[in-house]
Structure 1
Amino acid sequence: MNYSGTGNEKATPASELNRTHVGQTVSFEPDEFTVVFGRIAAVARKEGGVTIALDGVDGSGGLQSSYSLPSSQQVYIQPDMLTNTESTLKDLFGKVQENLRGTGHKGDDKTDKL
């Protein structure tokens, strides 16, 4: 397999995972025969690699609950919908403010004057 995530996932080297990624949905290829999809429960950095523990896997049909990955291994992270929505709303609000202040329009004033 040569798993490369889906269009909306962000490719991140395993070495960049930290506590902010706990709780996020992730996918990765721990070996050439397996693709894993799950929610990160914990991230542990070790010399030469990173261990990812998955949430809710214990006792689930023989699935591993943790995976050791080399630091350079690509891990694909689902976008955080709340953060994406928040930044989109901030951008839109900023544009509305610009338009209300009049800084969004350059050039001649085309309004009718009495």
Structure 2
Amino acid sequence: MNYAGTGNEKTVAATDLNRTHVGLTVSFQPDDGTLVFGRIGAIVRKDTGVTIALEGVDGTGGLQTNYTVSPTQNVYVQPDMLTNTETTIKDLFGKVQENLRGHKGDQRPEAM
């Protein structure tokens, strides 16, 4: 298996995970035969690796509650919908401003 995320996920090196990622949905491949999808409950960084604890997993059904990956390993994070929406609105507002500036010189005096 060679998982590389999906088109709407943001690639993040495990060592770059921080408190802003807690609560977001993540996917990663901790070993050759396992693919993990879950919500980040906690992140622990150590010299030996980064441990990702999953929220809502209590160990039933043989599921692990946490995984340790290499600091350089990529994990794939779903974008935060609020931040994503805010960025989209700012981009659209910027385009509207550019359009208005571009048409400023097009004003013609009214005919009498």
TM-score scaled by length of structure 1: 0.87
Partner Cα distance (1:109, 1:60) in 2: 67
1:73 is matched by which residue type in structure 2? Q
Map of 1:38 onto structure 2: 38
Deviations 1:85-105 (A, max 9, x none): 111112222333444xx4133
Identity of aligned residues (%): 67
- Structure (1/2) with the larger helix percentage: 2
1:14 aligns with 2:14: yes
* Aligned ranges 1:1-114 → 2 under 5 Å: 1-99=1-99, 102-105=100-103, 109=106, 111=108, 113-114=110-111
Question: Displacement of 1:59 after TM fit?
Answer: 3.4
What SS is found at the alignment partner of 1:61? helix
Question: Structure 1: which 5+ runs fail to align?
Answer: none
Equivalences, count: 111
Runs of 4+ in 1 over 2 A off after TM superposition: 93-99, 108-113
Unaligned runs of 5+ in 2: none
